[in-house]
Amino acid sequence: MLDDDERAALRDIQRRLADDDPDFARSFVAGARRLARAATPLLPQEAYTIMTVFSAAFAVISLLAGSPFVALLFAGLSGWIWYARSRRAEERP
């Protein structure tokens, strides 16, 4: 981690770079965006569907086996996976 003086110096360098050569500074921003997207790989839609089906099936099996708490956990997992799937679908280019 950088201390306050180092952060201030870094901000000053970044500001001067942006003032001197805006295209050069923009190239770093575009590269950082590409790296951020590459750092979070997207699972295929089929993987989300398979995980949802299996977790829902385990919820039903747990409920039939007489374990409502575990069934509730699997049902919550199914909902969370479904939500993640819909969010990833919105983010895809």
Q: Which residues contact 48 (CB under 8 A, 6 or more apart)?
A: 81, 82, 84, 85, 88
Q: Flag whether the pTM goes above 0.85.
A: no
| 87 compared with 66, residue with greater pLDDT | 66
pLDDT digits (tens, 9 = 90+) for 17-52: 778 877 776 776 666 666 655 555 667 788 888 999
Q: How far apart are CA 36 and CA 25, in angstroms?
A: 17
Q: How far apart are CA 82 and CA 87, in angstroms?
A: 9
66: left (phi over 0), alpha (psi -120 to 50) or beta: left
pLDDT at 1: 67
DSSP 93: -
